[in-house]
Amino acid sequence: MKLALKGPVPGLQPQFFFGNLLQTGILSGKPLFQVWSAFQQKYGDVFQWYFGQQRVLLFNRIEHAQYILGNRQLYDLSVLTEKTFGLLFPRSLLAIKGSMWKRHARVMLPMLKKAKIVPYLQTIVDCIDNLIQKWRDESQNHLYTNIVNDAQDSLLNVIGIIAFDYDLKNSTMVHAFNDVISVSTTLILLGGLPEFMGRLYLRFNSKYQRGLQLLRQHINDIIKQEQQRIKNNGTENRRKNLVSLLVSSLVEDNEILNDDSKQGLTRDELFDEVFLSVLGGFETSATTISWFIYYMSKYPDIQQRIKQELRSKNITQYTVLTSELVDELVYVDCVMKELFRFAPVQPGVGRSAQEDDEIDGIKIKRGDVVLIGTHNIHHDKRVWSLDPDKFIPERFLQEDKTYPPYAMLLFGAGHRACAGQDLARFELKLIIVRLMQFVTFIDGGKDNSGGYLQRITVIPKHLAVYMKFDTT
């Protein structure tokens, strides 16, 4: 049964209950960015889309992005995001707004800056070294087909140590993380379905509830230990994980209720913020590394140019990496930017209208959800000088060196840009450099055909490479 479109904006007539999810193949794993790209070609730069019963207006020009993301008083937290993440992490930055958001932001944003992450440089290197050693232990001439899972396991361990000072490898904690993440992924993809269904899904999902209970217990144990340590020894020799750094911000629920100017986070708020940071940092970074390996296997000249830059900076396998040394690598930055632009990690950025408005002659009503087609802007020939449908890192040294604001939206923009983007950029660059010190990725032929699989992010569907382990 099909329903009528609302208003004059073009789009595909939605089906009852499923909206456009079933008829376009999203529920079967087709990525959103592909569907929205086809919709743009058919309907133009503005069209309707239905996540279940939730209507969304999709805007796909850079001018749209600049207007929507640059006017925080007109466009704030998306109702769709608030509803979905409100079920998973109701007290996190992604699910709150107003004075509560400002209180959380004052605590969380400084925690996720690069200066807080640099001390973990060797931790990240050690985790990647373990991954490289795992690959070395495979038989020679081995076709590696488990790259995505390997990247996810490695990045999950990195985030686990940074957030909890806990090695997740071969522990019950890794199962708890994976269970909660897999259930969260399903719920996010079905975010347009009625809220009561999401609540029932989480409440009666035993895997999710067990994992959540174990994670809460572990974080509470860290909090108690850190509080006792501070009581006994003050702030000296304090633990350096994310949870322990946030302990000093803890306040009681009744303090917040009785004084709305009170600063800090309650215990439940701290849990939601930490776990959201884990989910966001793990998923996006692991996906980007998987795409990096895929593209390096397909573009060996780019891979060799990275290695050439390392040699020009006298970076060998014996070089101890530092933040300053990694910062000097300009071409690696270009490769990262091209990954952010080209790889379809995040299909869109959403907001909700706070009052009536008009964009390009389109009437916007208060409460309407508007969404910016990230991938469409990243591949817009009106924005990029060099062919945006080609993977060309050199564009950021040449014609596209000074690309316009809002042309790159992997981490969003405006006051609700990704809080952990400093962590992600530093972590990803360090991982890329470490991999390129030791490994050359070689195309796995027909098994390395790419393709896309929609999760929270879009991962490579078919990724298979050979590896040559460099000797110098």
Cα four-point dihedral sign 128, 134, 139, 143? negative
Q: Which CATH class is domain 91-346+410-469?
A: mainly alpha
Residues of the chain above pLDDT 90, percent: 48
Kindly list the distances between the CA atom of residue 459 and the CA atoms of 218, 422, 452, in Å, as whole numbers in the listed order. 30, 22, 6
Q: Which of 417, 271, 410, 236 is nearest to 338 (CA)?
A: 410
Quote the tokens at residue 109. 């944003």
The answer to whether 418 is a known ligand-binding residue is yes
C-alpha–C-alpha distance, residues 338 and 344, integer Å: 11
Please report, for residues 123, 143, 265, 409, the alpha-carbon distance to residue 443 in angstroms, rounded to integers and kept in the order given. Answer: 30, 10, 48, 29
Task: Please give the Cα distance from 8 to 208 (Å, whole number).
Answer: 42
Q: Looking at this protein, which amino acid is placed at residue 382?
A: R
Integer Cα distance of 322 and 432 in angstroms: 14
pLDDT given at position 462: 95
Q: What is the pLDDT of residues 350-406, one digit of tens each?
A: 999 999 999 999 999 999 999 999 999 999 999 999 999 999 999 999 999 999 989
The mean per-residue pLDDT over the stretch 151-156 comes to 87
At 259-287, the pLDDT tens digits run 666 788 888 898 888 878 777 777 788 99
Q: What is the pLDDT of residue 112?
A: 79
Q: What percent of the chain has pLDDT over 70?
A: 94
Rounded distance between C-alpha atoms, residue 61 and residue 67, angstroms: 10
Helix axes 147-164, 267-298, angle to 10 degrees: 150
H-only helix segments in 343-406: 374-378
Edge-to-edge strands of the sheet including 369-373? Answer: 46-51, 54-59, 369-373, 348-353, 75-76
| Pairing outcome for strands 369-373 and 439-443 | unpaired
Closest CA to 280 of 172, 416, 406: 416
Q: What is the DSSP letter of 13?
A: P
- In the prediction, which pLDDT does 307 show? 97
Q: H or E element: which one contains 351?
A: strand 348-353
- C-beta atoms surrounding 316 within 10 Å: 11
The string of pLDDT tens digits covering residues 23-40 is 999 888 889 999 999 999
Sign of the alpha-carbon dihedral angle for 6, 11, 14, 18: negative
**What letter represents residue 463's amino acid?**
L
pLDDT of residue 216: 84
Q: Taking the chain, what is the end-to-end CA distance rounded to the nearest angstrom? A: 64
Extents of the domains making up the chain = 91-346+410-469
Residue 234's pLDDT is: 63
Tokens of 73: 């008083």
